[in-house]
Amino acid sequence: MNVLLRAVSSEMLKMKRTLALWMVFIAPMVVVVLSFLQIYMQGAPNKPPASADEAWLRLATGITTLWAFLMLPLYITLETALLGGLEHVEKQWKQLFALPLPRWTIYTAKLLICTALIAASTIVLWAGTVAAGLVLQHLVPGWGNSGIPPWWAMLQMALLTWLASWLIIALQTWISLRWRSFALAVGVGMSGTVVGFIVMQSEQWGKFYPWALPMTTMAGEGKNMSFAVSYGIIGGIVGIIGCWEMTRRDVL
């Protein structure tokens, strides 16, 4: 465990001054700002919400939906490709695997860092949503989200998409670490996301397609929590398989 913590610390250090680190703020804020602008331009809705909480949740749902179906899978793609790229520029794997610590710690540390970065972005998304809502109260009073936001319900919504994205994180991390090509990792992630637009509309397949899972979870009202958790578990398993596959190879 101690070894893993050391590997994680080392990973965090490596991210200093990288685009990957900035993306943690940029990606969710782009979604928040876009959604905010859209509402601001359109003005108050024709049918006012039943309650302030409902107005808050309507805002959160709008932002989280845009996040879950478009930005999140693309952002995970870019983030994992950037983090993987750090080690591919000069074939750092050779050096990392020559160090006196188990190989799995290095892979696992990467995976944990990716997952943590996405979690951080999820928090940024949530905080950004609250901030956008508070500004809306003044600029578009007709939106109806007066008073204190329903923190927990909003955070829960954001965290669900995070849990449901573990499978994408596990897959994209493996691809970006396993192969040197930045283009391959980004290509797979982008295609996965685009194909997801179509697949997520299918009752039958949307539940099984990794890149559509955050969106499917958002849509499946009521039963989302158990959905998201099981996707998280599957993501964890895929992560372990990826780690095993990556570290058993001799020639890198």
Instruction: For residues 196 and 211, give the distance between their C-alpha atoms in angstroms, rounded to a whole number.
Output: 6
C-beta closer to another protein: residue 9 or 226:
9
What does the alpha-carbon distance between residue 59 and residue 129 come to, in Å, rounded to a whole number?
A: 8
CB of 206 to another protein, least distance (A): 39
CA–CA dist 190, 186 (Å, integer): 6
Structure tokens at 62: 């709008």
Closer residue to another protein (CB): 88 or 178: 88
Q: Output b/e per residue, 104-113; b: 16+ Cβ within 10 A.
A: bbbbbbbbbb
CB half-sphere exposure, 28, CA atoms < 13 A: 24
Q: Which is nearer to another protein, 3 or 52 (CB)?
A: 3
Place of tokens 């979870």: 217
Tell me the closest approach of the beta carbon of residue 33 to another protein, in angstroms.
Answer: 27
**Which residue, 15 or 123, has its beta carbon nearer to another protein?**
15
**What's the closest the beta carbon of residue 137 comes to another protein, in angstroms?**
41
Cβ of residue 13: shortest distance to another protein, in angstroms?
5
Least distance (Å) between residue 104 CB and another protein: 13
In the complex, what is the shortest distance from the CB of residue 183 to another protein, in angstroms, rounded to a whole number?
20
Query: What is the identity of the amino acid at 249?
Result: R
CB of 193 within 8 A of CB of 73?
Answer: yes
C-alpha distances out from residue 142 to 46, 57, 150, 164, 212, Å: 9, 15, 18, 33, 33
Alpha carbon distance 19, 229 (integer Å): 30
Q: Closer to another protein at the Cβ: 109 or 158?
A: 109
- Least separation, in Å, of the C-beta of 180 and another protein? 14
Cβ–Cβ < 8 Å for 32, 125:
yes
**Quick one: angle between helices 19-42 and 103-139, nearest 10?**
20
Q: Which residues lie near another protein (CB under 8 A)?
A: 2-3, 6-7, 9-10, 13-14, 16-18, 86, 89-92, 94-96, 98-101, 106
- 243 alpha-carbon distance from chain centroid: 20
Which one, 6 or 249, has the nearer CB to another protein?
6
Q: Which is nearer to another protein, 14 or 214 (CB)?
A: 14
